[in-house]
Structure 1
Amino acid sequence: MSDAFITPNLFGELDRLQRQMFSLFGGFPTSLRSTRVGLFPQINVGSTEDSIEVVAFAPGLDVGKLDVSIDKGLLTIAGDRTAQSDRLPDGARQYAQERFSGAFRRAVELPQQADPDKVEARYIDGCLLISIGKRETSKPRSITVQ
């Protein structure tokens, strides 16, 4: 007879352990390569039948200082956002600052069906919109049986 004790609710215990690990490590998505909460810019990633869509919420950027690149399945967005403290009236003292300024870099791991030759990027109303086409070979197709 074994001295090992197996609880009758093993799956409940595993679920509890998973919740504890999630709360401990914050539950970051593995495809977003980030190191802390609150990184700039915030990113949404989605997919359509024909493309992968990335939206980076990045108000106040100079488009000339943005660098968007794809290398080995990794989309990288880098740039620099200048400080906006000069918008305070003369003589005003700043005692709180929530707006990020400085250099930034974000990387998103793309799915295998992403085609790096079919990329469009545009900056509209403070959002960087990146559309990456999917490879033709990854799209579903109908096969005729003979």
Structure 2
Amino acid sequence: MSDIYFGTDLFSELDRLQRQISSLFGGYPSSLRSSRSGTFPPINIGTTDDSVEIVAFAPGVDPQKLDISVDKGLLTIAGERTGTRAQLPESARQYAQERFSGAFRRVIELPQQADPDKVKARYADGCLLISVGKREASRPRAITVQ
């Protein structure tokens, strides 16, 4: 039997330890699935037969100040979100803030079939919509049996 006793749930302690270690190393996740909550901008990724579709939810970001690049299979979204217009009065003591403001950078690993020469991006209604075309050889095709 072990002499170690945790006064709380072991899994919550491990989660706390992982968050502390992540903060020591800048909090950069090793993959999209391991990203911590609060990462900005939050994204959705899907695929069609012809492309990889990425939606980054970035309200309050000036689309002219967004920098999108693809290098070595990594899609990078960088920019800055300025502070909110609705500030608390000076006499108020703030005890919670959920809206992020400041510089951000998000890196997404693209699948191998993505073609870095076929990237299109547009910004609409607070969402950055990125479409990355797939290489011709990776598209599904029907084979006729003779």
TM over 0.5: yes
Gaps of at least 5 residues in structure 2 are 1-10, 20-28
For 2:83, the aligned partner's letter is: A
Distance 1:59 1:67 in 2: 15
Percentage of matched positions with identical amino acids:
66
Please show how residues 103-142 of structure 1 align to structure 2 within 5 Å: 103-142=103-142
Figure out how many residues of one structure are paired with residues of the other and give that number.
122
Query: SS where residue 39 of structure 1 aligns?
Result: coil
The structure with the larger Rg is: 1
Question: Residues 66 and 94 of structure 1: is their aligned pair in 2 closer, same or farther, counting only changes over 3 Å?
Answer: farther
1:73 aligned residue: 73
Q: Under a length normalisation based on structure 1, what TM-score does the superposition of the two structures give? A: 0.72
Runs of 5+ consecutive residues of structure 1 not aligned to the other structure:
1-19
Q: Cα deviation per residue 1:73-131 (whole Å; 9 max; x = unaligned)?
A: 001101011111x4237655351321000110111100011011111101110100000
- C-alpha distance in structure 1 between counterparts of 2:42 and 2:135, whole Å: 27
* 8 Å CA contact 1:33, 1:107 repeated in 2: no
Change in 2 beyond 3 A, CA 1:33/1:87: same
Aligned-residue Cα RMSD (Å) equals 2.6
Work out whether residues 49 and 140 of structure 2, in 8 Å CA contact, stay in contact via their aligned partners in 1: no
